[in-house]
Amino acid sequence: MKVRAAAVAGARGFGLALLGWVGSVTLFVLTVVSISLIPIGIGVLSTPSLLGLVRAHAMARRGLAERWESLRIPVAYRPLPRDVRSGIIGQVERCAVMLKDPATWRDLLWLCTDMTAGPAVAVLAPGLILQGVFALVLLAGVWRPIVDAQDGAAYWYLFVPVDSWVTAVLAALVGIVLLAVTLRANPALVRLHFRITAAVLDPGRRGELVERIDRLTETRHDALDTSAAELRRIERDLHDGAQARLVAVGMNLGVVEALIEKDPAQAKALLTQARESSAEALTELRDLVRGIHPPVLAERGLGDAVRALALRLPVSCEVTVELPGRADAPVESAAYFAVSETLANAVRHGGGDRIWVDMTYVEGALRISVTDNGRGGAVVGPERSDGSGTGLRGVERRLGTFDGVLAVGSPAGGPTMVTMEIPCVLS
């Protein structure tokens, strides 16, 4: 087991070193050049895209740290303001916002670290293995042609001058010691690499709180705007739907009152129309109320509400719920409508025939994953010019109101997994 762990750590160390020397060096040079070209206007157009690549590179390293070492490095990027426009003016605003973000400069500092100290530590893991193996190769007789090629001069293996079988055996013993050291040192070296990464990328407690306040402030504005838009929608639906039908019912009853003695047959027909209109108005009111807060959600909780939602889908949907209690009503409502929007996207755009919904409570957070076997390719869509979100962007903003996060994994060809996480307390 230790041998396998050391070998895996050596391979990971080699990969991390390559990422640092190739990826980080390239991104750092391109980004610095782009920022230096901002005064002449060219850098304004290229810098936001390059900073986006830098963030993606840093996020990938965070993912490796969490997957390989269970080390979570906080993400503290400030959200873009909702009034950032599209086009050249939008690029200027986006560039200014990203450069004012302290997390951007932490990323650039991390690039410097990741192309110097980071790979220097990581490359030791495969280096120790190679040195140990090479010592055994020397013992196999390879030391002879090396010494002959140097006109009889000894070949220095670390601190051992190899020029005879005796010194080759001594070098092999040193190599065996190195291989023994790798059993403990290699995993520790990879862990140290990620510790260095965390030391630079982690904003610290104070920085994390500041970034969180900024994010919550932004999402609070989004929540207020969303609530205002929802109220306008309700008013419009009432005015154009139920209200219009009820007005028509009143007018029909007025005509019935005038015709009930003169033309009973016509009055009876108008009463029938009035009854149908009142039934349609009642149905619209029920649909409207269900859209505001489904009764099953209030009465039976999030799990049963999502199960009821799944039964109305045109595709097979399997819902698994493992919740030890219920969250607060606002959290349940946000989670319900986020799941509803995600399921609608899966049915409308996924192209699959099965959907799985899993709801659990892990480490103080409600975690919901929605997976479909469709064609894949789902992304958190771009914002409109007015800053409002579309599709999964709307789901992300809804969750952000409660300090929640959204993650989307959707390779081409599928499957698509949308994971939502909302910090909360269950009762």
Are residues 141 and 84 part of one domain?
Answer: yes
> The tokens of 44 are what?
């304004």
- pLDDT at residue 111 in the model: 94
Q: Is the Cβ–Cβ distance between 397 and 389 less than 8 Å?
A: yes
- The predicted-structure confidence for 305-319, as pLDDT tens digits, reads as follows 889 888 888 888 999
Query: Is residue 287 pLDDT above 90, yes or no?
Result: no
Residue 220: pLDDT band (50, 70, 90) is low
**Mind listing the pLDDT tens digit for each residue in 406-420?**
888 888 787 888 888
In terms of Cα–Cα distance, which of 80, 110, 85 is closest to 97? 80
Percent of the chain predicted with pLDDT > 70: 80
* 93 and 234 both lie in a single domain: no
pLDDT above 90: residue 6: no
Instruction: pLDDT band for 388, please (50, 70, 90 cuts).
Output: very low
Asked if the structure places residue 375 within a domain, the reply is yes
Separation CA 190–CA 59 (nearest Å): 18
Reported as a single tens digit per residue, the pLDDT across 166-208 is 888 888 888 888 888 888 888 999 999 999 999 898 877 665 5
Same domain, 308 and 389: yes
Average pLDDT across the chain, whole number: 80
Contact between 355 and 318 under an 8 Å Cβ cutoff? The reply is yes
Q: 330 or 276: which carries more pLDDT confidence?
A: 330
Cis peptide bond upstream of 330, omega within 30:
no
**Rounded Cα–Cα distance for residues 105 and 58 (Å):** 12
Which of residues 248, 263, 292 is at a domain's end?
292
Structural domain boundaries, residue 386: 299-423
Total domain count, the chain = 3
Asked if residue 231 and residue 190 are part of one domain, the reply reads no
Q: 161 in a domain, yes or no?
A: yes
Query: 232 with 373, same domain?
Result: no
Say if residue 96 is in the same domain as residue 134: yes
d(CA 167, CA 155): 10
Exposed / middle / buried, residue 307 (Cβ in 10 Å: 0-12, 13-18, 19+): middle
Examine the pLDDT at 32 and tell me if it is beyond 70: yes
Distance of CA 123 to the CA centre of its chain: 29
| Top mean-pLDDT range of 255-259, 286-290, 340-344 | 340-344
Residue 211 included in any domain: no
Closest CA to 128 of 86, 169, 185: 185
Query: Does 320 have pLDDT greater than 50?
Result: yes
Shared domain check, 126 and 42: yes
Please report the sign of the dihedral spanned by the C-alpha atoms of residue 39, residue 41, residue 42, residue 48.
positive
pLDDT of residue 110: 93
Nearest Cα residue to 201 out of 98, 19, 59: 59
Query: Is 287 in the same domain as 308?
Result: no
Q: Where are the beta strands (DSSP E) in 128-180?
A: 155-157, 160-162
Contact 399, 422 (CB under 8 A): yes
Is residue 219 assigned to a domain?
no
